[in-house]
Chain A
Amino acid sequence: MPILTNQMMREIIMDHYTYPRNKRDPQTDKYRKIHMHSDNCIDDLDIHILEENGIVIDACFNGVGCAISTASTDILCELVKEKNIAQVTEILSNYEAMIREKPYDQDILEEANAFMNTSKQAARIRCALIGCTGIEELIKDEKEEK
């Protein structure tokens, strides 16, 4: 992964906030769903995962959120698609480590690296983790079975 400049990170976040690719309701009822809202009470998202045979086929979300929660959830939905549960877990745990300013592997986070500065605004850490936590919850059962 090439080093992201601040300008690139800004563009990635604004792009996914303004034009989220995965902000939609699922077309079938085969998706697992979780409702997520933040304690500071605005972010309010439903996250949906379609998983078959241990592979995430699709991920999407819908609802109301700030720039950070919307863009981060959108990017994570993109990242987890077509990955198996172990890979998804790996991505999410590295992402969470980055948000919490712990060591992490930049290479697997791709565009999600754009959120490396979130901790500058401590009150928004929860926004950056809302999608991550939601997807983690949705694949939890699957992980336990393995």
Chain B
Amino acid sequence: MYDVYEIRKKFPMLDGTKKMHGKPLVFLDNASTTFKPQSVIDEVVKYYSLATANSHRGDYDLCYQMDCEVEKARKTVAEFLNGEFKEVIFTSGTSMSINLIAYGYGLKFLTKDDEILITEAEHASNVLPWFRVSELTGCKISYIPLDEEGKLTPENLRKVISKKTKMVCVAHVGNVLGFISPVKELAKIAHEYGALIAVDGAQSVPHIETDVKDWNIDFLSFSAHKMCGPTGVGILWGKYELLDKMDPFLSGGGMNAKFDMCGNIEYLTPPSKFEAGTMNLAGILGLRAAIEFINSIGIKNIHEHETKLRQYFLEQAKDIEDLIIYNEHGATGIITFNVKGIFAQDEATLLNSKGIAVRSGEHCAKILTDFLKTSATCRMSTYLYTTKEDIDTFISALRDGGDILDAYFD
């Protein structure tokens, strides 16, 4: 039995005292970031108050213990993804993870005759690093067409992929429309053509089951803060043989085995090769606690909970005349909408005045705006602690409508 009220008790941000504009906070911007349970906060605080030490750099017990903790976290992440321990690299978040693939693999192996395939629905973090690779290597960026609803389908990948394609870089769940892409089938097609597939998991790993082995993908990137973990930490998972031949993105301490002043360097093997400098150790421990928290609920249960909330919302919203929903057939907790005649940013401000947090904007997926044929949208997004009552408050705010200037004058 999924007891959302019990789950909420574990989150200080949901203790009922947090208000926006004097109204109880209804947080529906979970695709942007998520609240942290006490167990994650405790773990971060524990690092600073009881267990501060660097990793990889000492001969004393505290350091050794820190090394053990980091490796334990790596193991927890690996099991969560069904990947191998040595294939898990700690980064600062999804953006850094994707940059690491772009700079470490893209720049090293792509040439002007090659092509990278992306879609119009990608987040800026999965577009701009590839633009950079294109700029520096001369390789071409092409787009896999989306279907009429905005979904990425295997058929459409087949339409554009060729022997020139060296990388297919797509989100598992898009941050604007929230459709789940069939990554297993996409990986199979990419591999038929000798291309790699790099999956942006920022919006999927926190919400649906991940199995990198079953999907047979090549890279996966995601952030801790979107899954109840701390900010400033994320993961790049990659197949070991690929990581092994990639160049490091950052150089410095903790990633070289030895070097001399003549420029001879011997790098450590992955994952250490990619973890130069002191890592966000408190964040890494917090990420482990976040995954343990998610495991204690069960990722499948979380997905089921969010699916029910989505259906509940759609059912309740059916008769709201002026509501435009752009992704009715999506399968995650992301719902993208506009209210007829109201600019998205004004709608989000009006909702803010009612204590409801949603995101307005182009959601960094600027290219998709041309596809949706609207300059901006609002996005509401759920997570494991979202309740039917949150949806009810949101629905009644949409139903009441109101003058956008009420936000300033009431």
Contacts and interface: CB of A to CB of B under 8 A. Distances in A.
Interface of A: 6, 9-10, 13-14, 40-43, 64-68, 117-118, 120-121, 123-124, 127
Contacts of B362: 41-42
Nearest to A117: B408
Contact of B403 (A10, A41, A66, A120): A10
A66 B349 CA distance: 10
B352 interface: yes
B397 to A, nearest CB: 15
Contact of B345 (A14, A66, A118, A120): A66
Contacts of A13: 405
Given A9-B409, A67-B346, A42 B361 contact: yes
A123 B352 contact: yes
B408 A42 contact: no
A121 B403 CA distance: 15
B222 to A, nearest CB: 22
B343 A121 contact: no
21 contacts: A6-B409, A10-B409, A14-B405, A40-B361, A42-B345, A42-B361, A43-B345, A64-B375, A64-B376, A65-B343, A67-B343, A67-B346, A67-B405, A68-B346, A120-B353, A120-B407, A120-B408, A121-B349, A123-B349, A124-B349, A127-B345
A10 B405 contact: yes
Interface string B154-166: 0000000000000
A1 B346 CA distance: 28
Contacts of B343: 42, 65-67
A99 to B, nearest CB: 12
Given A13-B405, A65-B343, 18 more contacts: A6-B409, A10-B403, A10-B405, A40-B361, A41-B362, A42-B361, A42-B362, A42-B375, A42-B376, A64-B376, A66-B343, A67-B404, A67-B405, A117-B408, A117-B409, A120-B407, A120-B408, A121-B407
Contacts of B352: 121, 123
B320 interface: no
Nearest to B344: A42
B30 interface: no
Contacts, number: 48
B203 interface: no
Interface string B360-390: 1110100000000001100000000000000
B349 A41 contact: no
A64 to B, nearest CB: 5
B49 to A, nearest CB: 33
A146 to B, nearest CB: 36
A62 to B, nearest CB: 13
A42 B409 CA distance: 23
A3 to B, nearest CB: 15
Contacts of A64: 375-376
B339 to A, nearest CB: 13
B346 A41 contact: no
Most buried by A among B375, B376, B408: B408
Contacts of A40: 345, 361
Interface in B331-360: 343-346, 349, 352-353, 360
Nearest to B343: A66
A9 B408 CA distance: 10
B359 to A, nearest CB: 9
Contacts of A124: 349
Nearest to A67: B346
A41 to B, nearest CB: 5
Contacts of B403: 10
Most buried by B among A14, A40, A68: A68
Contacts of A118: 408
Nearest to A64: B375
A127 B376 CA distance: 15
Contacts of B360: 42
A40 B405 CA distance: 19
Nearest to A9: B409
Most buried by B among A64, A65, A67: A67
A65 B360 CA distance: 12
B346 A66 contact: yes
A41 B405 contact: no
A14 B405 CA distance: 8
Nearest to B345: A66
A10 B410 CA distance: 11
A97 B403 CA distance: 27
Given A64-B376, A121-B353, A123-B352, A41 B361 contact: yes
